[in-house]
Structure 1
């Protein structure tokens, strides 16, 4: 029996999530009642699970940007330090409001990350504080004393 358009889209986004974040992340991120918001050209733009936006597809490269709900699901599935950037205590109030995370405030970072990756920003107790896009390679982040490290998309206290 052939797959419906909807089933095909669900399979597609789960495969993309597994590729971007690791095996099993597609099922974690996109479970339950899944709906899509499409572009005018009928491409997937946003993916919702239980009516909450989990991720948006970046038009330029087809990778996902995460909502805080999506980041929370990935965070609970992936063991530390996977996809994590650990921030120092001083930066947490700012980063959790969605402000840029600077290199000098990064205490630890997943060494497998690459510039451009979608990351989870956490405190030293591995509590999720924000999600965003890594701007530099992990070695650069740890070596630099100034400049932005992560372009924060949304923090847990963003309004």
Structure 2
């Protein structure tokens, strides 16, 4: 299996069917470790994703935008209110008390799309809580922003 097929398969598993094709164009390039394992996926001179040693992808904002366009809300999203958006854009973490809506399938540890009102893409991050906890908790970090 070639590198493109591998990362597309990982993306489909991690984000759902169709994610691999949406994230990684045919002309994507790969940066490999000395052992030959794919470590980064590049396109147009920028990083799209990093394949971590645990086999999961972390997304750049460019890749997040691609996934955001490919999937209908609320799939893979954590939506925050207006007051949080400037802080999230600056790389600050998103707190549970400011979560407006969240995809029911989000689990702690998932890579998520962070959005503002009206499904405006803001950035990507890692969920620290599952969807039910984000809705129920009044304190604590819901999403670690990259």
Which bin holds the TM-score, normalised by the shorter protein? over 0.9
Q: Which residue of 2 aligns with 1:103?
A: 96
Cα separation, 2, equivalents of 1:120 and 1:17: 14
User: 1:1-150 residue pairs with structure 2 within 5 A?
Assistant: 8-59=2-53, 61-150=54-143
Question: Which ranges in structure 2 are unaligned for 5 or more consecutive residues?
Answer: none
Structure 2: distance between partners of 1:49 and 1:14:
14
Greater Cα radius of gyration, structure 1 or 2: 1
Deviation at 1:28, TM superposition (A): 1.2
Q: What is the TM-score with the length of structure 1 in the denominator?
A: 0.88
Gaps of 5+ in 1: 1-6, 154-159
**Distance in 2 between residues matched to 1:50 and 1:20, nearest whole Å:** 24
Moved over 6 A (4+): none
Q: After TM superposition, give the deviation of residue 50 of structure 1 in Å.
A: 2.6
Q: Distance in 1 between matches of 2:42 and 2:24?
A: 8
| C-alpha deviation, 1:124, in angstroms | 1.4
Q: CA deviation at 1:21?
A: 1.0
Given that 2:80 and 2:115 are in contact with CA atoms closer than 8 Å, whether structure 1 keeps it comes out as yes
